[in-house]
Structure 1
Amino acid sequence: MIHIYLCEDNNRQLTRWKSVVEKYLLMNSTESQLYCTANSPDELLEIRKKSTVTGLYFLDIDLQSEKNGIELAQEIRKYDPRGYIVFVTTHSEMAVLTFQYKVEAMDFIVKDEIETLPDRICACIKNAEVKYKTQLDSSSRLLSVKVDKTSLILDQDDIVAITTCEDYHKIMIHTKHGVRQMSGSLKELIAVLNPAFCQCSRSAIVNMKHVVKYSREEALLTMDNKETYSVSIRMLGKIQRALKQL
């Protein structure tokens, strides 16, 4: 999951960027989301503070504000040190300042190049997704699943639980951002999930990192997205051992 942020003080430009990003997300199988469109640095930072998800930031440099885009990028780094930052600006001569301020920009797009700007924005999204996939893979957090004949990359830390469907050949992946249906079985997935996952019944696997409460009397797990899952007698010992390791 990558959250995409746009910050541009010119509404016409901001609308154009938004349209390009929305078209990319519609046409590609991705878990990335357009999370913020802002006119000012302070507006973006307030929204950023509420998220724990890695971000991809498209920032104008001249924001007609007390903070310019490079200073905004410095602030972003306090909350998202591994986020991906792209500057979109008419001030190409300011590219050198991105090194001086040590914000580690992923790319620098000149907005005057109108014909190539959409392709450059889309290329940055693709590049960020590839880098994010590599990061997840190196930390055993990557999960690649088949959805509608395409591969979808998920961060295992985002998954709250996986449950069976009424349709025997399908399962539901529950995340803090929603639910997605896919073909497969719990048996297939439990073999590739990281050790944070534990099967609590014949119909559910839960991510123990998302457990906020366990009721012994009811044999019930409460997750941080408010969902609850029953623990079967057969799985009780395994769940209790996993709880002790949290």
Structure 2
Amino acid sequence: MNVFILEDEWIEQRYLDQTLRKIQTELGIPDLNINSFTEVNKLLSSLPDPSVDNVFLLDIKISGNKKAGRQASQQIRQHDPFATIIFITVHDEFLPTTYKFKSAALDFIAKDRDNIPTQLKDDLALITQRNHQHTGQQLVLKTGAGYLKEALDNIYYFEPNPANSHQSMLYTTDNQVITINATLNELEKTFPVLFRTHRHYLINPLKVVSINLQHHVLYLKNNDQAYPFSRLRTKAILTRLKENEQSLKII
């Protein structure tokens, strides 16, 4: 989990950091990367790739600007539709207008109360549970138009883009072909749920329904096309399919 704090008071930054570390221990969060910022511009210039693992804790008032945090949340949301945004501020009166800024915030926590640790713990527990439920089921892919969140169940395979060596083509179960700004090697490293059967194919192994060991081809669910696989990968393919405990026809 990656947490980005926007807070212009050093004491508050330290308090949030310590609170988050304590929550990490209590919830058993394996990885928690905390990044703190006192200026909106520095935060916005350091935005990570979109991910459900990104969490932004934003104070609304920064350096005297009562709209800074809310305006930052707009830009964060435009860049990252999958991140979680939580406001932490003393300004309760801004609550009704906060959501008008389309930040789709998860929570609004008042600084002048003693419930910050409790509410933050509840929020992080919810985020952790939600992300665990969707692990391996949603792939966040970069396209020319921004980012695409594609369900694993809707993915057949990827192959190289013949027109651009830095891109791949995604083939989906609903007959879409989408250009992805990543190579097969990059996708393979990013999404271990996928499987490299051939230098030209990165497949969703959950879609494999039969495999022909003699001709070194496999077939995907509701798809009549035969996809070749490397002989050197035969053992690895069979092992992966066995691990998935899926119904499979071997010829």
Same fold (TM over 0.5): yes
- Residue in 2 that maps onto 1:204: none
Q: SS of the counterpart of 1:43?
A: helix
Paired letter, 2:51: V
Does residue 98 of structure 2 align to residue 102 of structure 1? no
- Residue in 2 that maps onto 1:25: 24
- Output aligned runs, 1:53-72, within 5 Å: 53-54=51-52, 55-64=54-63, 68-72=68-72
Aligned residues: 164
- Output aligned runs, 1:220-239, within 5 Å: 234-235=232-233
> d(CA) in 2 for partners of 1:25 and 1:44?
23
- Residue in 2 that maps onto 1:111: 111
> d(CA) in 2 for partners of 1:68 and 1:77?
14
- Output aligned runs, 1:10-159, within 5 Å: 10-48=9-47, 50-54=48-52, 55-64=54-63, 68-113=68-113, 115-136=114-135, 139=138
1:27-63 deviation line (CA, Å, top 9, x unaligned): 4332442241111111211221x43433111110001
- Output aligned runs, 1:183-222, within 5 Å: 194=193, 196-198=194-196, 208=202
Q: Is the 8 A contact 1:21 1:34 kept in 2?
A: no
Paired letter, 2:106: M
Q: SS of the counterpart of 1:105?
A: coil
Q: SS of the counterpart of 1:4?
A: strand
Q: SS of the counterpart of 2:46?
A: helix
Q: Offset at 1:107?
A: 0.5
Q: Is the 8 A contact 1:8 1:63 kept in 2?
A: yes
Q: Offset at 1:12?
A: 0.4
Q: Is the 8 A contact 1:40 1:65 kept in 2?
A: no
Q: SS of the counterpart of 2:60?
A: coil
Paired letter, 1:110: A
Q: Offset at 1:80?
A: 0.8
Determine what percentage of the aligned residue pairs are the same residue. 20
> d(CA) in 2 for partners of 1:208 and 1:23?
40
**Unaligned regions of 5+ residues in structure 1, if any?**
142-157, 162-174, 177-192, 201-206, 210-231, 240-246
Q: TM-score, normalised by structure 1?
A: 0.56
Q: SS of the counterpart of 2:122?
A: helix
**Unaligned regions of 5+ residues in structure 2, if any?**
139-150, 153-185, 204-229, 238-251
> d(CA) in 2 for partners of 1:40 and 1:51?
20
- Residue in 2 that maps onto 1:190: none
- Residue in 2 that maps onto 1:5: 4
Q: CA RMSD in A?
A: 3.6
User: Rg: which structure is higher?
Assistant: 2
Paired letter, 2:59: D
Distance 1:84 1:32, change over 3 A: farther
> d(CA) in 2 for partners of 1:68 and 1:98?
11
> d(CA) in 1 for partners of 2:19 and 2:233?
48
Distance 1:27 1:159, change over 3 A: farther
Q: Offset at 1:198?
A: 4.3
Paired letter, 2:37: A
Structure 1 residues 18-27 or 60-69, which shifts more?
60-69
> d(CA) in 2 for partners of 1:133 and 1:107?
20
> d(CA) in 2 for partners of 1:137 and 1:51?
17
Q: Offset at 1:120?
A: 1.3
- Residue in 2 that maps onto 1:145: none
> d(CA) in 2 for partners of 1:69 and 1:116?
21
